[in-house]
Structure 1
Amino acid sequence: MSDQFNSRQERRKAQQGKSRSNTHSKPKKKKKAGLFKKILLSILIIGVIGLIAGGVTFAVMVADSPSLDEAKLKTPYSSTVYDKNGKEIAEIGSEKRTYVSIKDIPDSVKNAFLATEDARFYDHHGVDPIRIGGALLANFEGGFGSEGGSTITQQVVKNSLLSHEKTLKRKVQEVWLSFQLERKYSKDEILEMYLNRIYFSPQAYGVGKAAEQFYGVTDLNDLTVEQAATLAGMPQSPNNYNPIKHPEKAEKRRNVVLSLMNKHGFISDAEYNKAKKVAVTKGLVSPKEYAKSTSNKYSAFIEQAVAEVKEKANVTPGTDGLKIYTTIDTDAQDYVDELMDGDSIQYTEKMQAGLTLLDTKTGEIRALGGGRDRKAGDFNYAVDTKRQPGSTIKPILDYGPVIENKKWSTYEQIKDEAYTYSTGDPINNYDRKHRGWISMREALVDSRNVPALKAFQAAGKDNIVKFAGNLGLNINSDDLVEAYAIGGFGNGVSPLQMAGAYSAFGNNGYYNEPHTVTAVEFNDGTKLDLTPESKAAMSDYTAFMITDMLKSAVQRGTGTAAQVNGVTVAGKTGTTNFTEDDIRKHGISRNGARDSWFVGYTPQYTAAVWTGKEGFNSLSVNEQQVAKLLFKKLIAKVDNGSGSFEKPDSVVEATVLKGSNPPVLASSNTPSDKKVTEYFVKGTQPTTVSKKYEEKEDADKPTGLSAEYDEASKSIKLSWSYSGDGDVSFKVKQSVDGGGYSEIQSSSAKEAVIPNAKEGSVYRFQVTAVTEDGESDPASVTLKVNAAEDDESKADDEKKDEDDEKKQDADADDDQDKDKQNNGNSNQPDDQNSGNTDQNNQNPGNTDGRKDDDADDQNKDQNKDKNKNPDQDSNTDDQQTNSNGQSTGTH
């Protein structure tokens, strides 16, 4: 052994030393182990406490859960609709369902809904953790709301027993009641409850009523697989996936359902491939039959209200027993219905109209005109139609953004000239003419396209997208091309959207989303406020200046036919047309239009009116006036004429010299027809006063004028003196033997020599001084040329000619006055480089629509142009296209 010990005692001491040594090296491990145990114990304790606390919280939350009321579970409740004054106007859901027992529902129908809504329905106990996990993953990858995690059982509980507020307590109660429901009822009973509650349309609740309304069948066994899939796809978005209203969207959705049925083993590959080849319209009832089954008073308005409630409150109005408080004014709605279908407007065949009336200050929709001869469930031309807006878009995309961001005044000078888009394609005005330099107000009043494009370009794409977005028009920056400046939209807009956007101009720049519902009350007494929040969309100066220019458009521009006696109206017309190819291919009149708009507002109401026809049917010149007439009649009926648009402190008024560029203030001597009053953003108004029409003192008159005849040279020498200061020139005029005066010299010299004087003739001369202040009165002298003449005969001759001289002087004075008058009437300002002379030599102050200088051309075009609509944005003879090659006159 290596260790040697002399005794047991030494060995023992050595062993004890090792033992002590070991005890010094191991405590660290024990301390680490102890710390881990403490952490684990702490977590365990916290977990137990959390579990207890969670259990207590869960118990508290479910303590006041509603009971499983079989009547509520199996008998859906209808909802009541109220007008703006709280008066009941309709009941939705009542007698609009056909209850079907589960034994009468074929597997193809059940499987279609199970594959779409809850494929593991028969495997879970009310709540499906796998489905919840999948929904969380889908929401993480595709954004919140991409996929729901609720089972069919949870949907029955939520739609039958609970309010739709999104709180933790409601969700806990939903889970609790779902477990309870599964314990009390069988799977088939729960599925039966669900299939009889589903919302398909305002007139169809439950799969039985839906099959009857859309396919005309009362026995669900008569539905094909593809028809069952169509119905199963609708509840997610009943309006968008309505196969009669939107067959393309409905077919895509149906095919998704068929693929899910195939994925979960409900149909084979062969059945799937066969079903998806069938047109979604096969077996549908005719549009006329569908319209008959969905007829309802105020249907356009109520359908929009139902859609809003479903979207904002996540409820099913036809089954949840709601009280829906709307914004409808039934008097206004009754009148709109009369305008749509009565005799007050003479519509022509195939002509359609869409109309939205709302409160300018609140955005509350008072009435909707969904279309002529419209039945419940039909296409809603006030809400669903998407048409190009024509020139009604100019305040939104052109002039509004440039005022907001560049602080242009209503006087801002824009040159209306031959011009092109950035792509090089030409842009034309409706009359193919150009007015030269005009103000922004006149450009909007006369609906000129070239100035609108220039304003669009000056505003900038980003500013335009933001401005439009603030007004409820969401435009993708990548889609925004220059043709949008005059209404060449890709997807179009609806009257509802245009009314909402224009109302902000009349509401000091505040935008209120158009809405039909203010609140919803649930069957448990809770109430949900659905009123949108008012948002500042623009500066008050932008709103006011746009409004004031649009008032001019109604008073003396393209919208005069929309004037209403005693009511302040601001508004804009809009017209779109067909492409050149469409005109040739379909034989469309060149004066015909695709769409005709009028959007206007008063301090109290805003209305947007669209008129047009489907397909390649054009509006005649007379039909294009109907939109303005509809607006005029409606506003005259509902508006009491109270109120005006008040100028905010951010805007100042200034009277400027017409045609000055940059603007200068008109002086007190400026003639009234040479000045104009416009609005400026405070701080940008002109401060320099024009000197053009200031009173000026006449120049000093020349003195000592004398005339001498030199017989040797046969010439007359004139000389004179001048006592004035500064630069001066002298005009010399002569008259011979009583003839008229003619100018013979203009120079700074104080003498003149007239050669070849004729003996025996009488010469009269006038000399005037010319300075920057003007011309002096003339100095005069008379000379009779005789070779040898005594003083007496000369005096006699002079006395003899005295009367003639006075007459000649009077004529000369008249000529002088005319010269001064002509100088004073010059259209070019003396103190500014106005830049008002363009290639057409137009009058720079031409802001009242006067004709171009080329009278011959205008006379030639007179007959051609007399029927042209000054708001038809892309001339049909020279179709304009945007940078994507898209016509501004297409849908």
Structure 2
Amino acid sequence: MVKWLVRLFLFGLFMALCGVAAIFVLYQQVKPELPDVSELKDIRLETPMRVLSQDGELISQYGVQRRTPIAIEQMPSMLIDAFLATEDARFYEHPGIDPIGISRAAIVWFTTGEKRQGASTITQQLARNFFLSREKTIIRKVKEIFIALHIESLLSKDEILSLYLNKISLGHRSHGVGAAAQVYYGKEVSELTLAEAAMIAGLPQGPSVLNPISNPKRAGERRAIVLGRMLETNKINRQQYNEAMAAPVAARYHGAEITLHAPYLAEMAHQFALTMFGEEAYTRGLNVYTTVQSDEQQAGTAALVDGLLGYDLRHGYRGATEQLWQDTPWDNEQIEQYLAQQPSYWPLEPAIVTRVAERSATVMVKDVGEISLEWDGIKWARRYIADNRQGHALRKATDALNAGEQIWVRPQGEHWMLAQLPEINGALVALDPSNGAVTTLVGGFNFNLNKFNRAQQAERQMGSNIKPFIYSAALDNGFTLASMVNDAPINHWDAGSGSSWKPRNSPNVYDGPIRVREALARSKNVVSIRLLREAGIPIAMQRLNDLGFDTENIPATDSLALGSPSATPLQMATGYATFANGGNKVTPFVVQRIEDSTGMVLYEANPMVTPVISEETAFLVSQALNSAIWGGSSNGRHWNGTGWRAGRALKRHDIAGKTGTTNDSRDAWFSGFNPNRVATAWVGFDDFGRPLGRTAHNANLGASQVAGGEFGGSTALPIWADYMQVALQDFPEQKWVVPQNLTTTTIDTQSGLLSRGKGVSEYFIKGTEPKRYSSPSVTQQFGGTSVTDDLF
């Protein structure tokens, strides 16, 4: 008996030595093909690019894979226990491969013929995920074992587990537990319940078929297995198990947790990073910090959206999107299913009318349920006939609404209001005039509805927004703010065309000789043409070029003075920044800095500032544009500038601005500034040939409603003012800083000459002030000025 035991021992020893020899030989054979595992020490997980505001709010995320790396210390023990219980219960005990686990799996396979238990450890799975394919071959398994052993010799158990939990694919493009928690539940990992943690822990075996979005039934069955393993390994008690098992399999897809809505700006930052880093931008975990502050961007978005919806409201209701039933109403389930498939366009939500009373309606709103639409939210909706014509004021709700209609509604405080998707569009862009940093950019009503970025890409006729640039050239060539220019009709015969050109003021009123300050503030068209002719078209073209406008395709004609050239809102704001900052041209930029996933700064903006006009000229133009908002006096009578609504809204005197309206009101502009912010608002149809039209008074609305023509002062300016209310709230009103080379002199408003009696104080560059005093004969020669309230 002893002899047989000795022989058996020797045989076992021999087989063991053969096994060791075989493993050694096998190792030598595959060694040249094994990867350098040491790179795991400095592994950089592929993480998407994030675009953020200056104050760290997430604007957008770009990249095929969703991943949010999380340190092992920040992961809840409940989640870690769920993974270990299911994937590798002896993880902290084995050296990278688990002989006990392998033996257990082999016994199950031999006795049942089924592969019920996997034998791969978490370390082996990590080796496979980083270095190997998923092909099921003996040689791949051997390599996996050797790599796992090597990994265990280099990294601690916590480092291995951290890499695994941040690397593993968990379905719906989520990689790692941080991304999975957000994708399936819209939560941080620390917020997961036991049932949710068990659901995520069950995904590695089949992320595409076991996830709760694609296959809730199989996901629930897999969750039960995970919870059972946690109970067996004493990670949870029976009560916790029962509660988690009873929890519903509730999950839905959650996009990136956007906390600031600025999609047009995000796309600009995205393209900037892509140009700089190429396709690596999507995997390096870049944090792209833009130049916007979240409060200003939110204010700009709200201002533009409110302005466009306001235009749409006063032009009338175009009717329901669709009639869903005529006689047989849908039940609530049908309505909810239909609404769930409809998009939302903030702040508009799709809704279905279920009942209509005389002065109210009951509607079902997507993700809200049943609400009452009261008369105050309906009474605006007189019928749209054309852009310049509306129907009669509503008398009852049934004049606009019928049961079975799909409509749009928007919240108004605690109530709801009937709305519609606007056909009009617009843009708002604002800069820090000191360096060109874009502080707000909104490229249209809704990015999901139309991705065309009007702030950056829409080239529209400038209209009267061009006049400050023309006036600045005139001030550099012999004119002062007190110079008198004849505001009288022009009739220019063109022998080449055989016709005459008769530009007109708008309204068609002429005041005779008028000071340059007042002419710009009241936007006198014929005065602009005369100043252009006096200064010279080549000089004006050079001024536009110096300010950043493309003059190659601009006709060098008198129409330049009336704003025939085109520019984008971003170009317009950049041009006005020169007046706001004392004469410097800035280059606008949207990316402040770019950091990698470790916080290392890879790029930092270096703003470009170039002097292009004198500080004195910039100040003088600013003063005239301040008068465009606050008006002035001539011959003892007050006149309003075209931007008077801005003064009424902001109630501060350190602002300046200019309205702009093109022929037939196809484009409405307002550009304005103070030393801290410069902003341009534009409104128009994407169809260049469609005028903005006009509106009649709506008897159902109050006295404060806007009616009449759509101009820069009535359509674009309120958007600018609403934004500036927020943008300037942290900047106390300040006095204008007067350049040293300027002096003030009292002048006579009717002649522009020195005054011996009553007059107004005016700024002059030293040496350009009047040398003569006004006299009765001079006053009689120039005549008086009349008062008009020009909106153009």
**TM-score if structure 1 supplies the norm length?**
0.44
**TM-score if structure 2 supplies the norm length?**
0.49
